[in-house]
Amino acid sequence: MNGIADMGGMHGFGPVDRSDDAGPFHDDWERRILGITFSALGAGLFNVDEIRRATESVDPITYLQSVYYERWLYSTEALLQEKGVISAKELADGRSATPAVNTTPPVTKDVARIILEQGGTSRSADGAPARFQPGDAVIARNINPHGHTRLPRYVRGKHGTVIVDHGVFALPDSNAAGLGPRLQHVYGVRFAARELWGLEALEQDTLQIDLFDDYLDHAQQRAK
């Protein structure tokens, strides 16, 4: 979506403030929402692409006014309601309106350890056709989906070069929409800074970004 989270290239946010660097958490509620979200994720109530979709769907004013872990709170609240796990009334009351129906056992300490120490990747050993090869001239598609995508606005319509094929992964656009895994190659694509930002960028500067097959078209090789 063309949302507030897609902020690459925006102006107006001022200098990077590095004064707050004591640690990842300020308050205990930040620790708790991290653990609540991972517990829900580990219990299979939603997936990580849905979290990103819910986070970027937080309304833009709230998004900018929130600290980082507030956005985790809002996205987890929204997803649990969307999935029918909790209702708005229950959330407001902080109490369950129905007796517990434990269809999803809670994440245990052992499972938490496995999540943390092993993680999980959507990389697939299953084959998928690779539409591009390293060295190919490509153009990032000019698409504007309402749903979640990992194709930021600032590369759309721009010409780049495939540097590396990272292998086959699940397309986040599909996972985030609850449509299940759709397997595609992901490529590291390099763009000249001048292609993205114009002549104020230095000629030799570049940007590399990982793009799925669905985000790319073949382009005619063109002179710099």
Partner 1 sequence: MAEHDHTDPPSDPALRVKALESLLVEKGIIDSEVVGAFADYYEHRVGPRNGAKVVAHAWSDPAYKQRLLSNGTAAISELSFGGLQGEEMVVVENTPTVHNVVTCTLCSCYPWPTLGLPPTWYKSPAYRSRIVIEPRSVLAEFGLILSDQVEVRVYDSNAEIRYLVLPMRPAGTDGWSEDKLAELVTRDSMIGTALPRLPA
Least Å distance, CB 33 to partner 1, is: 5
Contact 128, 209 (CB under 8 A): no
Q: 137-140 and 216-218 as β-strands: parallel, antiparallel, unpaired? A: antiparallel
CB of 93 or CB of 217, closer to partner 1: 93
Which of 96, 74, 93, 94 minimizes the C-alpha distance to 85? 96
Report helix angle 68-82 to 28-42, nearest 10: 40
Site residues (CB under 8 A) for partner 1, limited to 57-76: 57-59, 62, 64, 66-70, 73-74, 76
124 binds partner 1 (CB under 8 A): no
CB of 32 to partner 1, least distance (A): 5
Which tokens go with 122? 């959507």
Tokens of 159: 């010409």
For partner 1, which residue of 116, 144, 145, 218 counts as binding (CB under 8 A)? 116
With a CB cutoff of 8 Å and minimum separation 6, the contacts of 223 are: none
- Phi/psi of residue 34, nearest 5 degrees: -60, -50
Smallest separation (angstroms) from partner 1 to the CB of 183: 13
Contacts with partner 1 in 130-169 (CB under 8 A)? 150, 152, 154, 166, 169
CB of 187 to partner 1, least distance (A): 9
Site for partner 1 in 22-41 (CB under 8 A): 23-25, 27-36, 38-40
Shortest CB 180 distance to partner 1, Å: 17
Residue whose CB is less far from partner 1, 94 or 220? 94
Give the alpha-carbon dihedral of 156, 168, 179, 113, to 10 degrees. Answer: -110
Nearer to partner 1, 98 or 220 (CB): 98
